[in-house]
Amino acid sequence: MSFEVTPNPEIEDAALRERIRLSIVHLRLNEPTFCETRRYCHDRYLGLPTGRGESGPWPLSWLEEECPFVARELRRQGRLRAGDA
């Protein structure tokens, strides 16, 4: 996973897709720091090792409050932990 933000390829309106792409570029949403932060939040929620010495997964409620984009994407992709769905 790259943790980059991309326009939904199912958007049929090419002009809208391009405006979304330009917004992503303008806001610099795919800069390494942002991608790394999304990866870190994802890994912490799932309880995966991050190499930073933390233990235990973050609760979904925390993720929804502090990293709402990651929380929504995990929900959309059906990747929430059992019991959080």
- Chain segment 43-80, per-residue pLDDT in tens: 999 999 998 888 789 999 999 999 999 999 999 999 99
Q: Residue 4 falls within a domain, yes or no?
A: no
Instruction: Assess if residue 66 is contained within a domain.
Output: yes
In a domain, 25, yes or no: yes
- Residue 55 pLDDT: 78
SS3 per-residue string spanning the chain: CCCCCCCCCCCCCHHHHHHHHHHHHHHCCCCHHHHHHHHHHHHHHHCCCCCCCCCCCCCHHHHHHHCHHHHHHHHHCCCCCCCCC
Q: What is the pLDDT of residue 53?
A: 83
Does the residue 5 lie in any domain?
no
> Is residue 85 in a domain?
no
Would you say residue 26 lies in a domain? Answer: yes
8 domain-assigned = no
Q: Domain for residue 59, yes or no?
A: yes
Per the structure, the complete domain to which residue 27 belongs is given by 14-76
Number of domains in the chain: 1
pLDDT tens per residue, range 36-51:
999 999 999 999 999 8
Share of the chain above pLDDT 90, in %: 87
Q: Which pTM does this prediction carry? A: 0.87
